[in-house]
Amino acid sequence: MEEELKVIVFKLGSEEYGIEVEKVQTIERMMPITRVPKTFSFVKGVINLRGVVIPVIDLRGRFSLPETEYTDQTRIVIVAVGDMQVGFIVDAANDVIDIKSSAIDSPPEVVGGVKARYLRGVAKLENERLLIMLNLHEVLNKSEVVQLESVEG
């Protein structure tokens, strides 16, 4: 029996990305973000979500994509990486799908301007649809996670 992954689909611009459901804790509407000094430009600050302070990253900024205005569709996807929680600002998040693990190919060097090390692979779906699977451990590489952990305190 082939392994199936449940994946949350979100959009940045015209590209669709996926994160495994078990790594996603919640998807929230945009909310006030408190700026934090001396952090990377793509770190937008922190939010207080039900009493937990969570650092928030703009994925567009992280991937060096042009930033855009937030809309009614903008979401903060709260993911767990190791023992910390991080929010990713995305243009929209509105789908959960099942993907066969065999549908995921290794990533090309650059997809939609996003460097391959941030990617786990690219899944081919029906209707020529491509879904870019994120490698969360690289999106939050160690030195940045350490810096974010100091933000949480």
CATH architecture of residue range(s) 4-152: Beta Barrel (2.40)
Short-list 6, 15, 25, CA closest to 86: 25
| pLDDT given for residue 111 in this prediction | 58
Helices (H), 8-141: 59-62, 136-139
Q: How far apart, in whole angstroms, are the C-alpha atoms of residue 64 and residue 29? A: 23
- CA 59 to chain centroid: 6
Asked if the model's pLDDT at residue 145 lies above 60, the reply is: no
Q: For residue 109, what pLDDT band results from cuts at 50, 70 and 90?
A: low
pLDDT higher at 81 or 112: 81
Domain ranges of the chain: 4-152
**Euclidean distance between CA atoms 144 and 59, whole angstroms:** 14
Lowest mean pLDDT among 3-7, 13-17, 91-95, 125-129: 125-129
| One-letter identity of residue 44 | K
Digit-coded pLDDT (tens) for 6-65: 999 999 988 899 999 999 999 999 999 999 888 888 889 999 999 999 999 999 988 888
